[in-house]
């Protein structure tokens, strides 16, 4: 799957949040979307999948423009969104959360069965009968990723996945992202943490006040004055030793 976002303008009421944002994610590529809180990262993610429709611009998935399409259509084409925060069906069990997601894309076929999700995330298998609202933050993150995977997507959009997680869980999250890239899934990773995002992607974009301020490879972003200015990052971590 190839994702091409061109010139998106998205508003919340009179507030002009995205001001011509554009990006490209190639099939099987892992791309970072960096920016501070309020830069527009979540709005861009939501505009891509149709949850917050853009007023103008285009969202091309393998050449099809989905800007005005309902969210279920992008999901059934293979685009999965993992939202930030504790966005689970809290009154349903872990197993029920996964089953609801699986049934949402009944025609998609692939390697991600419920059994395989439980194998990759054995903790979910242990708590499969527990209500999702009673899970820890790390367990809910596993569930949100598992919920995306059972739709057998070709590309996964992850919005601030490290937010509020303990360092040990963040390390696990990095391992899960490694698994997804080895599965040849496209990834768009929205993150405030440049160190985490650029450790798990090959290139990225820097979003500031609704506009793309910089784009480049991991090394180019680390070396950019734009990163230091926008995120307050002093220098490449490998150069601090």
Domains belonging to the chain, first-starting first, are 1-78+154-241 (3.40.50.300), 83-152 (no CATH)
Helix or strand (DSSP H, E) at 7: strand 3-12
Contacts of 176 (CB under 8 A, 6+ apart): 120, 142, 145
CB neighbourhood size of 92 (10 A) = 15
Query: What's the distance, CA 88 to chain centroid?
Result: 15
Strands 64-65 and 56-61: antiparallel
Closest CA to 176 of 132, 121, 125, 218: 121
Strands 15-25 and 186-191: unpaired
What does the block give as tokens for 51?
């949850």
Q: Quick count: other Cβ atoms within 10 Å of Cβ 68?
A: 11
pTM of the model: 0.91
State residue 193's pLDDT score: 87
Digit-by-digit pLDDT tens for the chain (241 residues) are: 999 999 999 999 999 999 999 999 999 999 999 999 899 999 999 999 999 999 999 999 999 999 999 999 999 999 999 999 888 999 999 999 999 999 999 889 999 999 999 999 999 999 999 999 999 999 999 999 999 999 999 999 999 999 888 888 899 899 999 999 999 999 999 998 889 999 999 999 999 999 999 999 999 998 888 887 767 655 555 544 3
Rg (CA), the chain: 17
pLDDT for the residue 234: 56
Contact status, residue 160 vs residue 191, Cβ threshold 8 Å: yes
Q: What is the DSSP string of 164-229?
A: T--HHHHHHHHHHHHHHHHTT-EEEEEES-HHHHHHS-SEEEEEETTEEEEEEEHHHHHT-HHHHH
Q: What pLDDT is stored for residue 233 in this prediction? A: 59
Q: What pLDDT, on a 0 to 100 scale, did the predictor assign at position 241?
A: 35
Which tokens sit at 228?
């230091």
Q: Is 160 left (phi over 0), alpha (psi -120 to 50) or beta?
A: left
């Amino acid at each position: 799957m190839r994702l091409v976002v061109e010139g998106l303008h998205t508003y919340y009421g009179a507030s002009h949040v995205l001001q011509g944002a554009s990006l490209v994610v190639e099939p099987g590529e892992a791309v970072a979307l960096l920016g501070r809180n309020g830069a527009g990262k979540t709005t861009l993610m939501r505009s891509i999948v149709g949850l917050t429709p853009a007023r103008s611009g285009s969202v091309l998935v393998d050449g099809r423009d989905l800007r005005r399409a309902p969210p279920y259509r992008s999901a059934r084409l293979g685009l999965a969104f993992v939202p930030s925060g504790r966005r689970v069906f809290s009154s349903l069990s872990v197993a029920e959360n996964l089953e609801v997601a699986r049934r949402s894309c009944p025609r998609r076929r692939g390697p991600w069965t419920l059994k395989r999700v439980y194998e990759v995330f054995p903790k979910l298998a242990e708590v499969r009968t527990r209500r999702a609202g009673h899970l820890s933050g790390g367990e809910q993150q596993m569930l949100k990723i598992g919920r995306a995977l059972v739709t057998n997507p070709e590309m996964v959009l992850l919005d601030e996945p490290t937010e509020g997680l303990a360092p040990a869980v963040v390390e696990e999250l990095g391992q899960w992202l490694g698994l997804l890239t080895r599965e040849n899934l496209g990834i768009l990773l929205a993150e405030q943490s440049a160190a985490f995002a650029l450790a798990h992607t090959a290139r990225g974009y820097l979003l500031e006040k609704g506009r793309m301020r910089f784009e480049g490879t991991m090394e180019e972003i680390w070396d950019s004055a734009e990163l230091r200015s926008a995120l307050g990052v002093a220098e490449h971590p490998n150069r601090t030793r």
